[in-house]
Amino acid sequence: MNLGSFRFYISLIFAKSAYLFLSITKLSAGTSIIGLFVRKLCPNFLKYANKCIKYKKINVTGTNGKTTTSGLISHLIKKSGYSLINNSMGANMLNGVVNALALQINPFKKTDYSVIELDEANVELVFKDFDADYMLVTNLFRDQLDRYGELATTKKLIQNGIDLKPNITLLLNADDPLVATLEAKNRIFYGIKEVRWEEGLSPSETHTEEVYTCICGKNLSYTKKFYAQQGHYSCECGYKRPEVKYDAVVTLYKDHSIININEIDYKVPLVGLFNAYNAIGAISMALEMGI
């Protein structure tokens, strides 16, 4: 065993011991602080963690819906009988990711999958050392401009991470015109073809009146607009909503949703159009991986 491997296993022992201590003393929730010290003990922790995942490493990023979408993907994987590591408590920056891996890695047995939620600005930091087979991007909204500036800057942060993984497969929300411009060799799109409402219900999501522009700078035209910038768009320059592999018909009810993808109905115990997008992303990921 070389020094790096020794540091890795020592850091696992430290992480599990520290979490037990914090749980007993209730000094901290232990979602990120342990990751900080693990990285000090083993600077190459993420590189060594790669070998602990047997099959695929799945990642989820975007402005909104990361936790719900990664949780749904994790649920589908577990229900299919596989083991997984997931930062389910939502600590999605570098220390939080290391924290989750250090606590959940079994040094004596490989875990089947990892499902990691990533803050947009931390994709590159994590991808420098941690492998990635899939990346699902939910949306890019203006909610976090106080942190990252313009939407183009947020997109660039994600793209910088993607560029480190030439063989990654992107699963992108086709209805978001900025998400759909993310580049990789392998790209798959999901989206909504049509929305239907139970009798008595009506659209309730906030529809912003802001005009969204194409990558060429001209205003986008919409034949369908579901909310904010998400919908069926095109521009006179030729840019338009890409061809969608998982195009869903969504029927919204008071207490659930029915999502039809490729002529199969999925009943989802979540309400609202926004959660429908999260569910479509998760279902599409599961279908793509054959789960």
Task: Give the amino acid at 75.
Answer: H
Task: Note the pLDDT tens digit of each residue in 134-156.
Answer: 999 999 987 554 444 578 899 99
Nearest to 198 by CA among 271, 269, 268: 271
User: Could you tell me where the beta strands, DSSP code E, fall in the chain?
Assistant: 57-61, 84-86, 113-117, 134-137, 169-173, 186-197, 221-227, 230-234, 246-252, 257-261, 264-268
Gap between the Cα atoms of 148 and 117, Å rounded? 18
Task: Note the pLDDT tens digit of each residue in 172-189.
Answer: 999 999 999 999 999 999
Kindly give, in sequence order, each residue whose CB lies less than 8 Å from that of residue 158, ignoring residues fewer than 6 positions away. Answer: 61, 120, 123, 137, 182
What sign results for the dihedral spanned by CA atoms 81, 135, 233, 143?
Answer: positive
Gap between the Cα atoms of 39 and 119, Å rounded? 18
What is the model's pLDDT at position 32?
86
What parts of the chain have a pLDDT lower than 70? 1, 4, 28-30, 143-149, 200, 202-211
* Long-range contact pairs involving 220-228 (C-beta distance under 8 Å, separation at least 24): 220/177, 224/194, 226/175, 226/192, 226/195, 226/273, 227/203, 227/273, 227/274, 228/139, 228/141
Q: What residues pair up with 219 in beta bridges, in sequence order? A: 213
Nearest to 62 by CA among 100, 114, 118, 116: 118
Gap between the Cα atoms of 10 and 29, Å rounded? 21
Length of the chain: 291
HSE, CB side, 13 Å, CA atoms: give it for residue 192.
Answer: 25
Radius of gyration of the CA atoms of the chain, in A: 20
Q: Measured between alpha carbons, how far is residue 235 from residues 186, 192, 210, 244, 247 in Å?
A: 24, 19, 16, 18, 21
DSSP string, 248-280: EEEEE-SS-EEEEETTEEEEES--SHHHHHHHH
Helices (H) and strands (E) in the chain, counts: 9, 11
Q: Which two tokens stand for residue 264?
A: 């199969």
Decide the pairing of beta strands 169-173 and 186-197. Answer: parallel
Q: Is 282 helix (H, G, I), strand (E, B) or coil?
A: helix
Gap between the Cα atoms of 190 and 193, Å rounded? 10
| Dihedral-angle region of residue 42 (phi above 0 means left; psi in -120 to 50 means alpha; beta otherwise) | beta
What is the model's pLDDT at position 282?
98
